[in-house]
Amino acid sequence: MGKTYERVRKSLATSPRKWLVTGVAGFIGSNLLEALLNLDQHVVGMDNFSKGYRQNLEDVKRAVGPGRWGRFEFIEGDIRRGADCKRACSGVDYVLHQAALGSVPLSIEDPVATNSNNVDGFVQMLYAAKSARVKRFVFASSSSVYGNSEKMPAVEEETGLPLSPYAVSKLTNEIYAGVFSRVYDLSWIALRYFNVFGKRQDPKGAYAAVIPGWIDALINSKTPVINGDGYTSRDFCYIENVVQANILAASSESSDSLNMVYNVACGAQTTLNELLQLIEEALFSFTARDLPGAKRVEPEYGPFRMGDVRHSLADISRARELLGYHPEYDVASGLKESIQWYVQTTRRCEDISGSQVLSQAPSAR
């Protein structure tokens, strides 16, 4: 653990703050909630369950225990409704805004819904945060804003043309945040996530992320599908690194770090072919007793996915220097943690249903 993050965690534990996490029942939101409650923080969470799941909240409740769970207040609300946003922001120190429709293919299929949630909803949240005079507004942006830029690794100042409505919505968020800081003096930080993975990420559905989808396929002896030739590469980032970046961004006391965009990643490339191999190595380290239905299956190669960039790699030097961000997990160690959770979830579902399926709780982002 980096020294800055360790210091911040100790400080928060001795001096609790009040946090708002939007999209709290989703993949990233529920992990943020768990981390904050484990630091004895007071947390307000808002979700409309369009992409999040109630069972994610139950999973957090089970993980943190009843005492810490008592510090959590849940609001079933929608970021597109100003009254809900105003209620959620009341008395809050820090906002961690994660709520969004977070799928490139979905945005191509339904750009209107993406704009309604990711732009209209974002402005409602900004305005509510400004009105409540929160100390810091931290929000999820995306590596998709780099679009067709060929700059490798990607640096925050140099973006290309967006390749999807989702990318446009996240770039628009960054522009709006800049305007709110200049016009209303709102303090903000944008975190451009690069291919986040980890526990509670949805393995099901048409827009499921690749890692949980492949884990689910291999556990159930199904064929994993690789979009393209397998040499597409990504900078995969384990969820605990994202949690760290959010807490550091909200807690930063340096004025030089504010009102800026940061890459959140590991700073390393992994091809899809390499990723599948790493998943297999981690998964098959478990015994046949743990995963009786799992076996190695040759992948199927399908067409490239519309709106996807060919390669993605982040320069994380700005986050290191200004926030003290130090990714604790690389891809391999993050996969081991993720698969441990999926295996435990599978066994828990087996105990309930007698069949080998992953929990329907997690939400994709």
Q: Of the candidates 211, 229, 329, 219, which has an alpha carbon nearest to the alpha carbon of residue 275?
A: 211
Cα(309)–Cα(47) distance, rounded to whole angstroms? 30
Per residue in 157-192, is it b (16+ CB within 10 Å) or e — as a string? eebeebbbbbbbbbbbbbebbbebbeeeebbbbbbb
Q: Is 5 in the active site?
A: no
Catalytic residue chosen out of the listed positions 53, 127, 166, 207: 166
Cα(96)–Cα(242) distance, rounded to whole angstroms? 12
The DSSP annotation for 189-249 comes to: EEEEE-SEE-TT----STT--HHHHHHHHHHTTPPPEEESSS--EE--EEHHHHHHHHHHH
Cα(206)–Cα(215) distance, rounded to whole angstroms? 15
Structure tokens given for 81? 């409704």
Q: Which residues contact 77 (CB under 8 A, 6 or more apart)?
A: 46, 47, 48, 84, 85, 87, 88
Active site residues: 166
